Amino acid sequence: AKKYIVQKQFDGLPKSTDLTIVEEELPPVTDGEFLAEAVYLSVDPYMRAMSDSVPIGETFLGTQVAEITQSKNSDYPVGKHTVAPFGWRTHTLSTGGPFPIGLPKAWIIPDPEGLPLSFYLGVLGMTGNTAYFGFLEICKPKPGETVVVSGAAGAVGSIVGQIAKIKGCKVIGIAGSEEKGKWLVNDLNFDNFINYKDPKFKEKLEELTPKGVDCYFDNVGGQISSEVLHRMNKHGRISVCGSISTYNDKEVKGGYAEMGGFGVTLLVLAGVVQSDIVSKQLKMEGFMVYQWWDRWMEGIEQNKKWIKEGKLKCSETVTKGFENTLKAFVDMLQGGNTGKAIVQI
């Protein structure tokens, strides 16, 4: 068995020397336990955001799809696949949970009905439910409304945009390359996209949202999001899902802009959004997807139905080999993925 342990806490973008792969010998399975062999590992932005919670020498965190190969626990029968936060390891002895930091128990994948098992780390797992509940429950979109999604070509964002289209909305995606933008419009039916690296980002946003923005699903935070908030309509809804633009920063930066007039110079924090929130009576709500744990299968079943109806497409960026997990993680943090970033063991 192999696992990644923390050698050094990340400082900025993770480096190859921050985690080390070590071999371990697992003891025999005892009553109440089962042995699971990783089939797919997930690499997700939250692992960077929460990396400081893993002490040096401990296994790095993460969720995987694993096959149960031995079992002395009737809830986890041999031959079934489980989705569980076992961390970055090839083999795990477990009782199925509970796990630290409030993560739910290991759950058994229902009949995959011909869909790939890797989907249970993406569209049919945490990612899909983040999109389903985080968008529908917080933004409460209505047909005809304008929806903006940041991180739109990523795992969560690409699903949010498609759900918004299913709900009859106009959808503008924000992503980091022209290629990703073309994929959103041509393959996923987004109405349009903006490359946030374009120096004319603000002008493009204004041009593409002539009626303002009713719902904003925010994966990235920072300046991009401040610009979107300035475009919100009265009673707009903002679902704050993540802030990946700052996960590798030691301190969250705030820029000051100089505003002059009437003989005085004011220093204004660039990106201040509170006045928009007040004057437009906006609703802005953060969430943790596991708050909907009691409705978990509802999201999965609905997303599965939309996939089968051809209404929801899912793309994966698959890296092969346990040894390449850290590389896959760093690539994802730098935008190397389109759709869900997955490691195939």
Closest among 245, 252, 184 to 45, alpha carbons compared:
245
Coil, strand or helix at 317: strand
Instruction: State the Rg of the chain over Cα.
Output: 21
| Least Å from the CB of residue 98 to ligand NDP | 18
Q: Report phi then psi at 100, rounded to 5.
A: -65, 175
In angstroms, the first-to-last Cα distance of the chain is 12
169 makes contact with ligand NDP (CB under 6 A): no
| Least Å from the CB of residue 341 to ligand NDP | 6
Instruction: Show the site string, 84-123: x = touches ligand NDP by CB under 6 A, - = not.
Output: ----------------------------------------
- Of 44, 145, 214, 227, the one binding ligand NDP (CB under 6 A) is 44
- Of 85, 128, 236, 242, the one binding ligand NDP (CB under 6 A) is 242
How far apart, in whole angstroms, are the C-alpha atoms of residue 152 and residue 189? 12
Could you tell me how many residues make up the chain? 345
337 makes contact with ligand NDP (CB under 6 A): yes
Query: 282 with 232: CB under 8 angstroms?
Result: yes
289 makes contact with ligand NDP (CB under 6 A): yes
- Of 153, 164, 184, 238, the one binding ligand NDP (CB under 6 A) is 153
Query: 175 with 151: CB under 8 angstroms?
Result: yes
How far apart, in whole angstroms, are the C-alpha atoms of residue 16 and residue 21? 11
46 makes contact with ligand NDP (CB under 6 A): yes
| Least Å from the CB of residue 158 to ligand NDP | 8
Mark the segment that binds ligand NDP (CB under 6 A) among 51-59, 98-106, 262-270, 330-338: 330-338
Chain Cα centroid distance, residue 92: 24
Contacts to ligand NDP by CB under 6 A: 44-46, 49, 126-127, 130, 151, 153-157, 175-177, 180, 196, 219-220, 241-242, 244-245, 287-289, 332-333, 335, 337, 341
